[in-house]
Amino acid sequence: MDNKISSPHLSRQAYVYLRQSTPYQVESNRESTERQYALAERALSLGWDKSQIQILDGDLGKSGKTTSGREDFHKLMAAVSLGEVGAVLALEASRLSRSQAD
């Protein structure tokens, strides 16, 4: 186990957040999508049980310009706000949102 990940982290859910900005990117950049799904394996290797890993892929093909219509983003932010999240795994933090307000 990584020394930065402790029991309190592992007692909560690990969220894997997948996103690409357009349907074209999803279709033409399949390697990126596969790399994002592979983050679930990384969570396993860090100590989370498979049942504790939530994959959020409903925002694939949606722009990060706004959070409107990005239900998985809202689900993730709610879980973080409620203290239910031990880790968020994503390829780039910019995939969460482009708005500093969000």
Catalytic positions are 21
Helix (H) or strand (E) holding 17: strand 13-17
Of how many residues is the chain composed?
A: 102
Q: Where are the alpha helices (DSSP H) in the chain?
A: 7-10, 23-28, 30-37, 39-46, 71-81
